[in-house]
Amino acid sequence: MKIVILDGYTANPGDLSWDELRKYGELEVFDRTAPDELLCRAEGAEVLLTNKVIINAAAMAALPQLRYIGVLATGYNVVDIEEAHRRGIVVTNIPAYSTMSVAQMVMAHLLNITNQVALHAEAVRKGEWEKSPDFSFAKTPLIELDGRTMGIVGLGNIGRQVARMAQAMGMKVMAVSSKTEEKLRPLGIRKAENYAQLFSEADVVSLHCPLTEETRHLVNRERLALMKPTAILINTGRGPLLDEQAVSDALAEDRLYAVGIDVLTEEPPRKGSPLISAPRCHITPHIAWASAAARRRLIDIATSNVACFLHGKAQNTI
């Protein structure tokens, strides 16, 4: 049986191994696959693994031997699920592999904004502290999080872990969630009545909802207008959750204190993004998921998904 990984580099740039998958068939691993290379590379494959390479109806029609598509991520919008079901092709994803890593990145962005450790460390390196007339030297205001309100949109695995981390730092947590208030109360989370309440009351807003037509540009000019000028926005979810121009304008006009994001609407940002040059906007290049531990879990779960499928007991199916 032929197994093909179309774009394995981000999950495994060379520090991990795909060897466990080799037990289940003839394995070919490509670091990256351009759209015009897909059919040639996937020809004859019964099992196809993809992260960002799009597998649409036309591709499935051209690959008659294809029985299984494994998405090397949690989101599965790169696969035409309806067409796969119509053709009897099993599709799986990798849930919950990066929960701790993404939550940790949320807090890293938040602490970077509130404490500016790198900025102050670099200032010391440049000799600025040496020139200070005082023993204590600060380039920016330092913000204490204790007692402030964290507003979370989406209480899945990552959202709940961010809530726990925020609570450990003394923050109050409120959330927009489909869960009832009775279920949230034992978690110490207050249920927001609506987006308007969350955006207007929260000192920090962190986004952890899926990207749908309803959540696209969830953070728009109207909701930004509700936020405190001292508020912080964090997005480690999906880039299009933000109206990037509206967020950039809010920062430029001092209607928003700071933003920490790990995702953009276009990745890589070939055409640029208004957020890249926006003041007080801190961007990491979609790496929240990519700790070695999380990538190892991803590969282990992907391998288990293939094994279960081959044994007739598919798991993590879409």
pLDDT at residue 146, as a whole number? 98
Task: Flag whether pLDDT at 179 surpasses 90.
Answer: no
- When pLDDT is averaged across residues 141-166 and rounded to a whole number, the result is 97
In this structure, the number of other CB atoms found within 10 A of the CB of residue 1 comes to 15
Condensed to tens digits (0 to 9), the pLDDT of residues 94-109 reads 999 999 999 999 999 9
CATH of 2-97+292-310, one of 3.20.20.70, 3.40.630.30, 3.40.50.720, 3.40.718.10: 3.40.50.720
How far, in whole angstroms, is CA 188 from its chain's centroid? 24
Give the CATH class of 99-283: alpha beta
Distance of CA 176 to the CA centre of its chain: 18
d(CA 190, CA 192): 6
Q: What pLDDT score does 57 carry?
A: 98
Q: What is the mean pLDDT of residues 235-258?
A: 98
Residue ranges, comma separated, of all CATH 3.40.50.720 domains in the chain are 2-97+292-310, 99-283
DSSP string, 225-239: HHS-TT-EEEE-S-G
Give the model confidence (pLDDT) of 45-96 as tens digits: 999 999 999 999 999 999 999 999 999 999 898 999 999 999 999 999 999 9
What are the CB-based long-range contacts (under 8 Å, 24+) for 302-305?
302/21, 302/49, 302/70, 302/72, 302/94, 303/20, 303/21, 305/70, 305/92, 305/94
* Catalytic position from the list 208, 223, 238, 297: 238
The whole model's pTM is what? 0.92
User: Closest by alpha carbon to 105, among 302, 285, 298, 239?
Assistant: 285
Mean pLDDT of the residues in the chain? 97
Catalytic site includes residue 286: yes
Q: Among residues 43, 193, 266, 267, which one is catalytic?
A: 267
The DSSP H or E segment spanning 40 is: helix 38-42
Tokens encoding 203 = 């000192």
Q: Is 267 a catalytic residue?
A: yes
Identify the active-site residue in 216, 221, 286, 296: 286
- Whether 120 is a known active-site residue: answer no
